[in-house]
Amino acid sequence: MTRITCTLSGFNPRRVLGSGTALDTARLRYLLGEYLKADPRNVHAYVMGEHGDSEFVPWSQALLATKPILELCGETGDSQCRQRFQDIEEEVRTAAYKIIEAKNATYYGIGMALTRITKAILGDEHSVLTVSAMLRGEYGQRDVFVGVPCIINQNGIQRVLPLSLTEEETESWGDPVIPEGEL
């Protein structure tokens, strides 16, 4: 949808953005905060990629304050820590299915995510949010819209914020399908 909007509007791609994985990222931070017994506002972790089944969490970049989350597993002696992180990632990925099953819709969560994105734009916040942005070589991808951390301000996407992904995380992108004749 973001790609179609960009194409039809003729706007600069940095002024066209989608909700991307902003809602998924909020859910991830909430669940990690609950597990780590920490305020989710101090959890810095992102859900990236396409919203849904192919999204992924780059765990190498996840932090509690400035401490890498994966390092916490070794310090706490919790042998199930990494498995719990994987369970949380799966819970985030499948949350929409469970909500639709229970309520027949997911509009409240996405409404909150869109409110947050709008607030960042109207308030010229320069906040980092995982929105759907056109990639221009970041993460080895080009001319595809996907959920990535971006700095958002009054002009839309100030810039995509590339993270240093591991080789395994980089492979999580897969090969994007770009319809013939687009952009």
CATH number at residue 84: 3.90.110.10
* 176: in domain: no
What are the two backbone dihedrals, phi and then psi, of residue 151, each rounded to the nearest 5 degrees? -90, 120
Question: Nearest-5° angle of CA 79, CA 42, CA 119?
Answer: 135
* 177: in domain: no
pLDDT of residue 50: 87
Question: Are 83 and 50 within 8 A, CB to CB?
Answer: no
Note down the domain range covering 32: 2-171
pLDDT of residue 38: 96
pLDDT of residue 132: 97
* 180: in domain: no
The widest CA-to-CA distance across the chain, in whole angstroms, is 54
Distance (Å) of CA 181 to CA 7, 49, 112, 143, 178: 11, 22, 35, 12, 9
Q: What HEC string does 27-85 produce?
A: HHHHHHHHHHCCCHHHEECCCEECCCCCCECCHHHCEECCEEHHHHHHHHCCCCHHHHH
Number of domains in the chain: 1
* 179: in domain: no
State the number of CA atoms in the 13 A half-sphere of 83 facing the CB.
3
Question: Are 31 and 91 within 8 A, CB to CB?
Answer: yes
pLDDT of residue 61: 96
Which active-site residues does the annotation give? Answer: 51
* 100: in domain: yes
Per-residue pLDDT of the chain (183 residues; tens, 9 = 90+): 999 999 999 999 999 999 999 999 999 999 999 999 999 999 999 999 988 788 999 999 999 999 999 998 877 666 788 889 999 999 999 876 676 666 666 677 889 999 999 999 999 999 999 999 999 999 888 999 999 999 999 999 999 999 999 998 888 775 544 444 444
* 181: in domain: no
